[in-house]
């Protein structure tokens, strides 16, 4: 996994009545870690959202980025049943990694091997 993923910060719009105890964060941008055009990223994000809607997945907007947000990728917080399900979706959308948040703790999960890394607390990484 790219070590920069461990320096993530989030911007999220979570409906106050929603805040799940556990959820994943996924983006469809820059598949396989390769930089693609804004148009390709926008199309991939639309395909991800359509797939989440088709699967009746409760989701909300989340943007992940560098600490200064000079690099940011739009994505979604998704209520999945398990971290394994988040990784499966990450693989489906050719992502190197996804995030799993449970009880406010954020884990970075590789989509290519069994590696996981604790990256911080959700409230801190969101600047709350």
Local structure of 32: helix, strand or coil: helix
| Chain centre distance of CA 91 | 12
Number of separate domains in the chain: 1
pTM metric for this prediction: 0.94
Distance CA 97, CA 45 (A): 16
- Over residues 94-115, the pLDDT tens digits come to 999 999 999 999 999 999 999 9
Q: Residues with Cβ < 8 Å from 90, sequence gap 6 or more?
A: 26, 96, 97, 98, 109, 111
Write out the residue range of the structural domain in which residue 50 sits.
3-125
The closest alpha carbon to 78, from 103, 104, 49, belongs to 49
- Over residues 13-44, the pLDDT tens digits come to 777 777 788 999 999 999 998 999 999 999 99
């Amino acid at each position: 996994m790219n070590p920069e993923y461990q320096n993530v910060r989030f911007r999220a719009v979570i409906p106050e009545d929603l805040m799940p105890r556990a959820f994943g964060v996924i983006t469809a941008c820059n598949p396989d870690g390769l930089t693609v055009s804004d148009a390709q990223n926008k199309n991939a994000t639309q395909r991800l959202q359509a797939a989440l809607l088709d699967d009746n997945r409760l989701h909300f907007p989340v943007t992940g980025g560098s600490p200064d947000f000079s690099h940011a990728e739009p994505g979604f917080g998704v209520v999945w049943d398990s971290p394994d399900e988040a990784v499966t979706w990450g693989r489906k959308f050719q992502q190197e990694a996804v995030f799993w948040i449970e009880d406010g703790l954020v884990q970075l999960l590789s989509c290519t091997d069994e590696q996981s890394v604790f990256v911080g607390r959700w409230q801190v990484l969101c600047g709350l």
